[in-house]
Structure formats: C-alpha cells, structure tokens
Structure 1
Amino acid sequence: MSLAFNLAWRQLRSQWAAGEIRVLLLALVMAVAATTSVGFFTDRIQSTLARQGAMLLGADAVIVADHPIPPRFAEEATQSNIQISHTLEFPSMVLSGERSQLSEIKALGEGFPLRGALLIQQNGGVAHEAQGIPAPGTIWIEPRLANSLQLQEGDSLELGNSHFKVSAILYSEASRGGDMFSFAPRVMMNAADVQATGLIQFGSRVKYQLLLAADAGAMKTYTDWAQPLLARGERLQDLATARPEIRNALEKTQQFLGLAAMVSVVLAMVAMFLAAMPYVQSSQDSYALMRCFGASGKLISRILLLQTLMLAVIGSALGSLLGFVGQLGLGWLAGKLFVETLPAPSWQPALAGFIVGFATLLAVMWPSLLRLRNVPALHILRQDIALPSWTALWQYTPSVLLAFGLIAWHAGDIKLALAAIGGFSALIIAVLALTRLLRRLLLALPQQQSGAVQLGLAAIRRRPRLFMAQVLGFSLGMAALMLLALIRGDLLHNWQSSLPPDAPNRFVINIQADQLDAIKAFFKQEGLPTPELHPMVRARLTAINGKPLDIASYKDERAKRLAEREFNLSWAADMQDDNRLLAGQWWTPEQAGQPLLSLEQGIADMLHVKLGDHLSYDVAGQPLELTVSSLRKVEWDTMRANFFALTPPGVLDAMPANYLTSLHVPRDRENMLNRLVQQFTNLTVIDVAAVLEQVQAIINKMTSALQYIFGFSVLAGLIVLYAALVATRRERVKEATLLRVLGASTRQIRQSVWVEYLAVGLMAALVASLIANGLAFYISQQVLNIPFSFNWSTSLLTIVLAMILIPMASWWVLRGFLRFSPREILHST
C-alpha cells in the first residue's frame, strides 16, 4: 500500500505541475463550492424566513386551548430550556363614559412576544418597539378603538370591574397573524390584572395560549412529545397551521431553494464528466509505461483509487471553504437588505459538500478507472486510445444513479425530483439522437465547402462522440440555468400579483340584504370603487352520503374542528380568478338552481369527501342536500374573500343570508371606515392591514432571497461551465497545431473553431430551451401550483448568447497557444 500511495502522490504532483489535473480539481472545487455555498446560504435564509414567519405568531409554536392549559406542557418546556410565555384572549365590552365598544382583550404574561416585537406610540411620538408589556393598571389600545371612543393617552377606560389608564397606542402586534380575522379592535393588558376585572367566569369564551420558542431541534423534540398528549379543545399551532398564505410562500421558497441546489448538482456533474477527459488522456502514457515495467492491474487500480481519494479530500476541503467564504458575502448583503443579521450557518452543508465531493468524483471517475487499469503497454507506441465505445456506456450507470439520487435529495419533493430526472433524461436522449442525425447529414453532404467551414464540419464528422459530449454538457448546463430563470420569474410574478399594493386590507361583515344598495351608494359617494359583495349562509354539515356525521371518527384535530363548526356557504355564477378547478366541472348558466356544490380541495381531503358525494346540511332548521360537482384549489394568499363551499345561483336564495366584502383602504382614507360604521351600525370591520404588512414584508424578503440564490447559482454555473470548456483544450490545441503544420492560417483555424462551436451552441441551446420550458411548465403547474407563461424572450436570448459566447469562449481558450510555434507545442504535449 505504501508503494501505491507514494506512486499516487508523485504522479498527482507531476500532473499538477503539468497542468493536466487542474481542470478536474477546479471542476470538483467549484462543484463542492456550488453545493456548499447554496447549502450554507439557504440554511441561513430558511432559518431567517422561519424566524420572520414566527413573528406572526409571536413564537415558534403555540399551544392553544379553550380551557386553562395543563401545567405539564409548561413544565416540560422549562425543563427542555424552551422559552415560554402565557396569554389570554377573550371578547369584552369596554366603556368610556357613555360610549362603548366590543373589543378583543389580550392579557400578556412576562416575556411576550418571544418572536417579533410590539410597536407602540407614546407621548405623541413616532411608533417604536415596546420594551416589555403594559404595566399593571394600564392598557394599550389600537388606533381604531381610540378613534371610535375618542380616546387619547392618559384617558381612563372601564373594563369589567376595573378602570385602566391608556398608556400607549398599539400599532403593530407580532402575534396577530395566528388569528387574523379578529372581529374587534385590540386591547392589551397585563395578565396580572385579569382577575380583578371579574370578566373570566364559568362559561366565558377564553382562548388560552402557551407560547414557545427555541431552536429548531428542541422545538421538534418538544412538539413530537406534546402532540400525542393534546386533549379535546387543545391544539398545537405553528406557522404552517396558522397562516396558509405564509405556509404556501415558505413551501414555494424552499422548493425553489431545493431547485437551485439541484441545478448546482447537475452543473457540477456535467463539468466533472468533461473535466475527466484530459485527465484520462494525460494519464494513459504513464500507466502504459508502468505496464511495460510489469505493474499489475491491481496495483494500477490502487494508485488510481488513492489518487481519486486524494483529489476528493483536497477538492472537497477547498470547495467547502470557498463555499463558506462565498456565502459570507451573500449573507452580509442579505443582512443589510433584511436590516438584520442572519443566523450562523450549521455544519451540515459542509458535511453535505464532502459527501457530494467524494461521491461525485468516485462516480464520475469510475469509467475512467476501468479504462486506465486496463490500458495496454502498446499505447506507448500507438496513440489511438479514444473515447469509450457505445457498448461501454453501462460503465456510467453508477454516475447516472448518483446524479438521480442527488437530484432527489436536493429537490426534497418527489414530484419535483421525478420531473427533473425525466426532463434531463429526455434531454440526454434528444442530444444523442440529434448528434447522430447531424453526423449522418454531414457525411451525406458533398465535401465542397470553403476551407474554414469544411474544417469546422470535418471536426464534427471526425469526432462525433466528443461533439456529442460537448453538446450534452452545454445543453444540460443551459437547461438547468434556464429552468431556474423561468421558475424564478413565474414565482416572483405570482407573489407580486398575489399581494399587489392594493390588496384588500379590510373585511366588512354582517351586511344585510336590504343594505346592499345603500352600501354601494356609500362607496360611490366616497369616491371609492364599489367592492364585490359576497353572500354568506350559515349551515352545519349533518351527513355525508346519508350517513350521519361522526366527528369522533376523524383523527386529525383540525378535521374535527371543521366538521363540528358551522360552514359559510355562498353562491357564485363564475369562479374567481384566484381559484383553480382540480376535478369535476364548473356549472353552466343553465344549471342555476340545481343542488350542486364546489368544495375547496383541502377541506374535502380533510373530511374525506370526494367528487360525487352527497352532503347534507342544516340551514337554520331547513334541510339542504348538495352533490359535490367540483373540487377547487383556492389561493388564500390573495387576501380576497373566498369560501370553502360554493353553490350555483338560485340554490340558497330562500335561505337567510348576510353579505361580506374585502376592500383596500388607503392610509389617508381610514376615516371613511368610521363614517361607514356610524351610518351602518350593525357592520363589523375586520382590520388586517398590520398582518398584511407583515405578510408582504416576509414575501419581499423571500423574493430577495430568491434573487440572491439565483444570482449565485448562475455565477457558479458559469464558472463550472467554463471549467468544462477548458477541459477540451488539450484536444483543440493538438488539432490546431497539426493544422498549422499542414499550412492552415490562424484565420482559418479561428473560423473553423467558430463554425464547430456555432453548431455546438445552436444545437445545445435549442435542446435546452425545449426541455427547460417543458420542465418549467410541469414544475410550475404540478409542483409549485403557480401559473406558467412561456417566455419567448428568455429562450431567444439563450439561443443568441449561446451562438455568440460559446464560440468566443472557445477561441479565447485556444488563442493563447497559437503564439507558440508548432514545434514547441508538440514537444510540450
């Protein structure tokens, strides 16, 4: 083993000095750097996004109950070094002289909020972050309560048996995201004052909350412990269950980050395959000479394996270090952008980088190892060992399997992984077929072209497998980057359109049917567009397919809550543009009045309802039976009024109904809401502006994260693709030198290179555009659930740039060697 190690190390040093192994090492370093840098940065971004999302809850997780939470939950959290805080929420009337207002009271325990901050205004100054909670005997109130009751700081407010001093105006609440649709303005008080008010008695509607905050590992351990212990009326709430629009945005961000890491893997594998070619070519003479001196195939195998491991250690270490340094700059920029410091990265991306480095290098080098261990001694005399034959393609099976495995690992989603594997497999098949077809066409063409064109086309005819490898490498690289660009564009457009600047920030409910005309007239008088008014009928689900509803049969706690609560039924002639039909058919105008029902897919799955089922409802004592005719996907993150259950017009007309609407109210028009409530005293206005701002801020940060990740992936991809281009330099230099010996001019050589690589770039770009758009369409529609729009400009730009930049880059790599005489170059090789 010592002999093999010494020979491996010496040969590695000599190959490094000669420059042959540098391309392979560079490719490996950049492969690991791309993987680790994206890994480090996405790890930090995901931590930040999760933390930002937790601000909407005021914690990482919350245990919510309709009764006092058993002490064991807080005790276990304390023992596990998890931060805790308690809150109580309940509705109550507040009094100020002769005026009164229904309010949502929130009593805070010490430490609230565990995530995020409370913004308050005091002494007429600007809103600032609160330090602590309201002092005993004082309260904080929202501006709309202050406007409604004409209160200022220092005024007294009666709450139950106690009087409190208004010490601040509450402008932003960290935990409002978990309960966005609260029906009344917020009043915050100290939990120590609750008992004195006498408001909490037997039968009171109180929501008890235990807020929890810790690192991800500790929280997962705790939630896994707590979930099975939750009793009736208790539930564990986190970001995924609290805010569907944030959950959707987080899921899409994580899927895109996985896509970016997957692209890095594809680029790395392509570059390393091509970079292995000059390494193998330069090593053949050395191993043939060793065979002449009696070296066995077993010794050569050991040397090759040790060299591969040495390269893997060096490349993985350098790549991980470079990836860590690279993400520091991005982290600094992102920190400046987010106006906060990103958390430190974990060590897992570095471990993943080493695993990827070792696995990819061994898999990529395996076919080469098989060829070199059996190189004949005759190779010293005959320099005709070429690329492996078509029958030897089975040797690449480990590489293909590893590539598929890495794609699946980085994708993190089975549909995304299968789509990528299928798309890239189709690309490989298309390139193989097209390159063989092109060679046959070239062979059939008459050989009467001008000198430069003839030389360029002759190179394609003479080396079809090298041409195929180049087209395959460039097309895979371009397809991966195009896929990332297309998905990124669709995803950002979807986010921007889902929460535009004029997204609804107020909901108005309890509108009566006889008030519709007056409401429309009010908005017209105020100079505002008339909002869409949606009917709503309260109904309770009683049976499915004639079988009485058994709430206890549902294991999921959320399903039980949905089954036992009243449904809000509505009707609509047309489906809203933020809804998407998944199954069944939307009704036609002729079907008005027929007992049909369109259900949201999520609630249908939760209640085990499928297309064609018959649902029985009780509407104020009147039985109603509806047949599920369609299932819809609802984009809840549009903030518009939406319903789980819809019927055609004419089905619910005889049922008691009221109306609701969602609208956008500019900051300078908020007084209009006071006039609306004064004119229609039965209306309730739900303010979601603060939550909307938090949601918009999180989405903006996700957008910035995607921009940085995309930019870095493109940069890494360009560097890796350049390494793949340099990998064919040895072959190009030899050919150009021989052409010069035979009398070709530098101009003819340059033109022949342009012709050959123009064909490479054109074919690679065409295949890449076709596959990337097909993949982007599938991933957008089936994985990310966002609209897809074919981007002609991106496809045309890719084709034009490929036809210009690939020949230019190839000539730039080659031109430096043409300054030397053919004799010098031939002697050096």
Structure 2
Amino acid sequence: DAPTDAVPAPGTTWVDAALLAALELRVGQDLWLGDSRFRISQVIALEPDRGAGFMSFAPRVMIHADDLAATGLVQPASRITWRFAVAGDDDQTVRAFADWADTEVARPDVRGMRLESLEGGSPQMQQTLTRAEKFLNLVALLAALLSAVAVAIAARGFAQRHLDDCAMLRVLGVSQPVMARAYAIEFLLVGVAASVLGVAIGYAVHHVFVWLLAGLVETALPAPSVWPVLLGMGMGLTLMVAFGLPPVLQLARVPPLRVIRREVGQLRPATLAVLGLGVAGFAVLLIVASRDLVLGGIAVGGFAVAVALFALAGWVVVRVLRASVNEATAPRALVLATRQFSARPVFAVVQISALAVGLLALVLLVLLRTDLIASWRSATPPDAPDRIVINIQPDQAAPFQQTLQDAGVTRYDWYPMIRGRLVAINGQATQPERFTTDRAQRLVEREFNLSHAVDMPSHNQITGGQWTPQEADGLSVEEGLAKELGLQLGDRLGFDISGQLFERRITSLRKVDWGSMRVNFFVIFPVSALPEAPVTYITAFRAPAGDTGFDNALVRAFPNITHVDLSQTIAQVQRVLGQVIRAVEFLFGFALVAGLVVLLATITATRGEREHEFAVLRALGARSALLRQVQRIELLGVGALAGFLASLVAMAVGWALARYAFQFAWQPPLLVPVAGSLTGGVLALVAGWWGLRGILQTPVMQTLREAA
C-alpha cells in the first residue's frame, strides 16, 4: 500500500480487490466497461472519501475522465452522480466555502444536491465524533470547575496565613487602599504567570493528541490559532478574580487590634455581590467554552445546585453529630473527632462541599467515560454484521438460509422487503410542494423499502404508541421520518405497491439506530404476511472468518442477489473509534490527576488548624495513637459523606447529560452511592495521611510558639 495523488492513465483502470476476486481477474489483464477495454494497472486499498451511500458499497472502478465518453455508459436515464471535492488551507476558508455551498443547495430551483463533510458522513462516524467532541468539552468544563475549587482553597489559605502580617502593617500606618492594591497586583501577577504556564503546557500536550489521532484525518492539521491561547488566559484570570481575589482583598480590612487579640479579624465569607459577579462571569465563560448550550447548561447548572445541596447537607450533618454522639458512652476517639468537627461548623461545611465537588467531577467522569465507550463499542461490536444481501426471491429463502447455516452462520437478520411509494397522507395526495425541506420532498418522490413482521425488531425502540402484533390496520413508522414529514400517531398513510393502494393507520413510532449494521426500515406493517404485495428478502450477517471464497460462492449459487461487503467500512469505523477512545482515555487520565490534586489540597487546607488543636491536646496529655485515630475517623467520615453526596448528584447530572447532550440510553448502577462513599473515604484517608503526616511529629512547644 502506498498513498498517491495521481489518477489512472488513459486506457488503464484502478479497481477494488473485491472486483478481482469476483471476476477472477489479475493486475495486467483487461476489463471491459461498456464499449471500451481497459488494462487493470492498480488495486485500490483504501479510498478515504468514498462516502457511505448504498451505491458506494459496490466494487470501485476508476478510469481517466477523458475515457468516460467512449464507454457509452452515460446515456439518457443513466444513474450517474457527480461529486466535486475541494480542500482548503485553513478552517476559515473551508467554512466560507461550506456556507456558500449551503446557500446554493437551499435555493428553490436546485434539487438533488447536498454538501458532504466529515461531520455529515456515515452515521457511525458522525455519532462517534460528535460524542467524542462533547465528552472532551465536558472534561474541559470539569477541569475548570476543579480549578475553581483549588483556587478558592489556595486563596483562603494564603489569606489566613497573612492575617497577622496585615495587622502589623496596619499598626505601622499602611492604609487599606494601599494594602488592597498591593495584594491585588501580587495575586493578578501570579494569575498571569500561572495562566501562561498552563497555556504552554496545554500547547505541548496537544501534540500528544495529534499523535493519538494520527490517521483519523489523512492530512496535516493546521497550526493552532490564537483562540485557545486567549481562552486559556481568560479562563485563568477569571478563576483568579472570581474565586481567588475576594478572600485576599479581605486582608486590607484586618483591624490593627488583631496584633494583641488573635480572635478578631478572622476571614469572613465573601459578599454576595462580589461572589455572585465572579461566579456569573465564570459560568458564562464555561458555557461559551463548551460550544454546546445544553452541555454547558447541564454541567454548570448541575454543579451550582450541587454546591447548595452539599452545603445544606454538611450543615445538617454537623447539627446531627453535635446532638447524637453520647460523650459518656461513645469511644473517646469518636467523641474527640465529633467535637473537633462540630466546633468549627462553617469550616466543616466548606470542607465537605469542596471535597464533594471534587469527587462529583471524578465520579461523573468515570461513569460517563465507562458508559460512553461501552455505547460506542456496542454500536459496532466485533460480531456486527459485515454483509448485506438484497433481492433474495421467495423461492430462494429456504435454500439461502440453509447455505448460511452450512457455512456456520447462525445469527443473521432476515426480513421481507417491499417497494412502495407514499402517495397519500390522511386522504390527501402527497405533492412535493407541500413540504418545505429538500429531504422531505425527496422522500415523497422516491420509493420506500417497507417490511412486515409480527414482532418488533429487537434493536428498535418504541417511542410513541404501541406495537400490536397482527394489527391489520396498523403501521409502525420511524420517528425521524415522522418528524420530517410532519406525521403523528393516528394519521393514515397510503402506499402504492405495484399499482395497489395499501392504507394503514400509524399506531406506533420507533427509534432506529441508523449507525448500526442491522437491517432497519422506515415503515413496518405489524403483520405476519401481506399476500397481495410482491416481496423479496433482505439479510445481514457476518461472513465466516477465514473463508475467502464464501462471497464468490454465494453469488454463483444465487446470481440474482445484490451482495454488499461492509467489512472495509466497519474496519474504518472501528479504527477511528479506537483512536478516539485513546484520546478520550488520555484526557480522562489528565482530569483524574487534577481531581486528585484538588482532593489533596482540600484535605491539607486544614493543616494549620489541626496542628494547633493537636498541640493543645498533646499538651493536655493526649497520646499520639489517640490523635491518629481521631484524624482517621474525621477523614473517613468527611470523605465517605462527600463521596455519598457526590455519587447521588453525579447519577442525576450524568443521566441528564447522557439523555440530552450525548443522546444515548444510560441507566446508572444502583451501587454507585456505596462505591462513591467507599472511594471518598479511602481517597480522603490517603490524601490526609500524605498531607498531614508530619503534624504529630512536630514538637508541641514549637507549634504553640508559632501559634502565639
């Protein structure tokens, strides 16, 4: 195999390998096309832009354009389609041409033209790329939300450590405006430096993505534009202003009295005006970055509601713990842990909320990543049908099925197929002029592939009405067709089948996955037979592995059939799917590491308070073993509670995202809250051990002197 940008020389032809096998030809021999003879010079291994139309599945023969007229193949009523392929140097040029082409195709005097692109190609490819793009956008949103939590925690810790310094500066005569400007400039400079570093790392990591997706698009990708740089800088600075600056600006309002009275001048929650303005700006930026209003709205709205629920649940838990633990009978470690936890209720609520938000992002990513990849793989499973055969005559049905069974093919779709034209809707003739879209006009002008079956196809799903077996006056219609033609349950449709009028009422609507390799129909009669209608049969099956002569033997045994080999199409879809999954897995791992870092920051944010509290307890005689138990109980309790709350919200948000953004059926496992509680407890314990491991080793006198 070798890539080429050449075309067949005059008098020669390039052909698919399937054609050589079917006609028992070799390279160098002659092939007659119409009135002309061509020498076979090359074999086509891969044609990336072939498309997915039904006629595209037939073996390909390429000749020079100047040789076409001599073949005599183009005659009145010939089935011929012209394709004009273009390429641009940059995305803006391609988009401008696509907009112009869309305008031309939409003109009322233009019929039968359409614009093809990577996004509008085969249903499998389109669905895979669309879902992958949305998942990557979701990962970016969750990473930004995790960053918001990390910035808020870091800024509060920074402000807490500098309260005494600011009080001393106030005693020495530094005014509030001067201090506010100094800290604001310092923090913004840090934000700019961090944003620049993040953009640089992102630029380097994007090359890894290009390597992972190599081969998905057989061309050099354009150089990155300035838009990602501006978005990264804007996101970083917005995070700093919205979540980092409010606690830092409170340093300017520290009273000088704190120098001699440490209990005054503590940090207070940011004002609603400042916090609301920052959060609103951040939410707008997230929705713009998501490029999908539904995806961004569900993610941002879900997290906003989650924060409120987490805070409320944390406050309730603090109150319950304070009232429920019996200090006389409970273990001493549990009593101390509960007393420590409930002694600072505001900080406890903040810690639970921050930890739950981080776990929510992780649980949501794990659930959607697992089920999204499963849905991708189920669309084209390894045993998916890779052959479609049509035009099987009724008297050939039994011998054809026997041939399949003799070859070891035991699983296959088998349906009758009837050709019919839609001629009436509710008694009115279907005229193309009645419909506004070009697709609807084409549908009423063409013949439909109809079928009948007592049982609904197992790979279809009822979305409206009811499938009633042997309902003589019933019809089941695919929901997309019904929407395109404006059909509803109860409408009567009339089909012209070989000169006979068949009128039936729509009794059910079905959802059909056109991206699957199964046999599907727009319209099905829910009956076992239509004796008056001429019928042929269609089947889809997977060819026996390793039997290279099976296809040719089948065509020789039944020369009238139309045999379509889908193996190359399936292989291309599965190859692209594998590359997309690798990219998704890579970014998933990146977000997972970011979430774990945020969890560690959330736990270690309490290091100063814990050092002081444990030093006092040790000075009063508490043993290190007892304090370790207290620390473990508190960490396990907070982590388990945060994991439980995060799992419940993740199930709700994940269901909404799966249904309305990714559009695939998703039933969250019922054991997710249990698994989330266990995971949250273990992660909190591990993060606490790593971040707080030196607290009990610090001498008591050193800790008390630093606190004083």
Same fold by TM (over 0.5)? yes
**Secondary structure at the counterpart of residue 504 of structure 2:** strand
**Secondary structure at the counterpart of residue 410 of structure 2:** coil
Given the superposition, is the C-alpha separation of residues 338 and 540 from structure 1 closer, same or farther in structure 2, using an over 3 Å criterion? closer
For structure 1, which segment, 249-258 or 714-723, has the greater mean C-alpha deviation from structure 2 after superposition? 714-723
Aligned to 2:167: 288
1:474 partnered with 2:355 = yes
Q: Distance in 2 between matches of 1:334 and 1:236?
A: 25
What do residues 130-178 of structure 1 show as CA deviations (whole Å, max 9, x unaligned)? 5622222111223333233322222112222221111233343323333
Q: Distance in 1 between matches of 2:392 and 2:664?
A: 33
Report the residue type matching 2:25 in the other structure.
Answer: L
Q: Which of 207, 214, 219 pairs up with 2:94?
A: 219
Q: Which of 599, 620, 644 pairs up with 1:721?
A: 599
Q: Distance in 1 between matches of 2:506 and 2:300?
A: 37
Structure 1 position 266, deviation (Å): 1.6
Structure 1 position 766, deviation (Å): 0.8
What do residues 665-720 of structure 1 show as CA deviations (whole Å, max 9, x unaligned)? 13522422222222222111012221111111111111111111111111122223
1:138 partnered with 2:12 = yes
What do residues 480-502 of structure 1 show as CA deviations (whole Å, max 9, x unaligned)? 11111111111111122221222
Report the residue type matching 2:491 in the other structure.
Answer: D
Aligned to 2:514: 636
Aligned to 1:195: 69
Q: Which of 587, 600, 603 pairs up with 2:478?
A: 600
What are the equivalent positions in structure 2 for 1:465-544 lying under 5 Å apart?
Answer: 465-529=346-410, 531-544=412-425
Q: Distance in 1 between matches of 2:81 and 2:12?
A: 21
Aligned to 2:187: 308
Q: Which of 447, 457, 460 pairs up with 1:566?
A: 447
Aligned to 2:83: 209
1:256 partnered with 2:135 = yes
Structure 1 position 392, deviation (Å): 5.1
Aligned to 2:333: 452
Q: Which of 692, 697, 702 pairs up with 1:814?
A: 692
Given the superposition, is the C-alpha separation of residues 206 and 336 from structure 1 closer, same or farther in structure 2, using an over 3 Å criterion? closer
Report the residue type matching 1:690 in the other structure.
Answer: Q
Report the residue type matching 1:474 in the other structure.
Answer: L
**Secondary structure at the counterpart of residue 637 of structure 1:** coil
Give the TM-score normalised by the residue count of structure 1: 0.79
Q: Distance in 2 between matches of 1:530 and 1:336?
A: 33
Q: Distance in 2 between matches of 1:677 and 1:271?
A: 65
1:243 partnered with 2:117 = no
Structure 1 position 359, deviation (Å): 0.8
Structure 1 position 598, deviation (Å): 2.4
Q: Distance in 2 between matches of 1:243 and 1:437?
A: 53
Q: Which of 575, 586, 589 pairs up with 2:456?
A: 575
Structure 1 position 181, deviation (Å): 4.3
Structure 1 position 795, deviation (Å): 5.1
Structure 1 position 276, deviation (Å): 1.8
Structure 1 position 745, deviation (Å): 2.8
Structure 1 position 429, deviation (Å): 3.2
Aligned to 1:689: 567
Aligned to 1:228: 103
Q: Distance in 2 between matches of 1:577 and 1:784?
A: 22
What do residues 60-115 of structure 1 show as CA deviations (whole Å, max 9, x unaligned)? xxxxxxxxxxxxxxxxxxxxxxxxxxxxxxxxxxxxxxxxxxxxxxxxxxxxxxxx
Q: Distance in 2 between matches of 1:436 and 1:376?
A: 29
Q: Distance in 2 between matches of 1:725 and 1:239?
A: 46
For structure 1, which segment, 135-144 or 217-226, has the greater mean C-alpha deviation from structure 2 after superposition? 135-144
Given the superposition, is the C-alpha separation of residues 603 and 824 from structure 1 closer, same or farther in structure 2, using an over 3 Å criterion? same
Given the superposition, is the C-alpha separation of residues 626 and 293 from structure 1 closer, same or farther in structure 2, using an over 3 Å criterion? farther
Contact 2:440 2:485 in 1 (8 A): yes
Q: Distance in 1 between matches of 2:681 and 2:22?
A: 67
For structure 1, which segment, 542-551 or 790-799, has the greater mean C-alpha deviation from structure 2 after superposition? 790-799
Given the superposition, is the C-alpha separation of residues 711 and 653 from structure 1 closer, same or farther in structure 2, using an over 3 Å criterion? farther
**Secondary structure at the counterpart of residue 655 of structure 1:** coil
Structure 1 position 463, deviation (Å): 0.9
**Secondary structure at the counterpart of residue 188 of structure 1:** strand
Report the residue type matching 1:409 in the other structure.
Answer: V
Q: Distance in 1 between matches of 2:691 and 2:134?
A: 37
Aligned to 1:272: 151
Contact 2:246 2:270 in 1 (8 A): no
Contact 2:465 2:489 in 1 (8 A): no
What are the equivalent positions in structure 2 for 1:535-554 lying under 5 Å apart?
Answer: 535-554=416-435
Q: Which of 289, 293, 296 pairs up with 1:417?
A: 296
For structure 1, which segment, 728-737 or 483-492, has the greater mean C-alpha deviation from structure 2 after superposition? 728-737
Contact 1:267 1:480 in 2 (8 A): yes
Given the superposition, is the C-alpha separation of residues 326 and 160 from structure 1 closer, same or farther in structure 2, using an over 3 Å criterion? closer
Contact 1:419 1:779 in 2 (8 A): yes
Given the superposition, is the C-alpha separation of residues 242 and 652 from structure 1 closer, same or farther in structure 2, using an over 3 Å criterion? farther
**Secondary structure at the counterpart of residue 174 of structure 1:** coil
1:733 partnered with 2:634 = no
Contact 1:510 1:658 in 2 (8 A): yes
Q: Distance in 1 between matches of 2:596 and 2:626?
A: 28
Greater RCO, 1 or 2 (C-alpha within 8 Å, sep 6+): 1
Q: Distance in 1 between matches of 2:549 and 2:400?
A: 16
Contact 1:541 1:618 in 2 (8 A): yes
What are the equivalent positions in structure 2 for 1:736-747 lying under 5 Å apart?
Answer: 736-747=614-625
**Secondary structure at the counterpart of residue 213 of structure 1:** coil
Given the superposition, is the C-alpha separation of residues 828 and 527 from structure 1 closer, same or farther in structure 2, using an over 3 Å criterion? same
Given the superposition, is the C-alpha separation of residues 340 and 542 from structure 1 closer, same or farther in structure 2, using an over 3 Å criterion? closer
Aligned to 1:113: none
Q: Which of 668, 675, 679 pairs up with 2:546?
A: 668
Given the superposition, is the C-alpha separation of residues 525 and 810 from structure 1 closer, same or farther in structure 2, using an over 3 Å criterion? closer
Given the superposition, is the C-alpha separation of residues 394 and 456 from structure 1 closer, same or farther in structure 2, using an over 3 Å criterion? farther
Contact 1:265 1:406 in 2 (8 A): no
Aligned to 2:525: 647
Contact 1:182 1:686 in 2 (8 A): no
For structure 1, which segment, 243-252 or 795-804, has the greater mean C-alpha deviation from structure 2 after superposition? 795-804
The percent identity for this pair of structures is 34
Moved over 6 A (4+): 336-343, 386-391
Q: Distance in 1 between matches of 2:228 and 2:300?
A: 23
Structure 1 position 750, deviation (Å): 1.9
Q: Which of 228, 233, 253 pairs up with 1:349?
A: 228
Q: Which of 658, 665, 671 pairs up with 2:536?
A: 658
Contact 1:427 1:476 in 2 (8 A): yes
Q: Distance in 2 between matches of 1:490 and 1:653?
A: 44
Q: Distance in 1 between matches of 2:611 and 2:24?
A: 85
Contact 2:384 2:517 in 1 (8 A): yes
What are the equivalent positions in structure 2 for 1:45-56 lying under 5 Å apart?
Answer: none
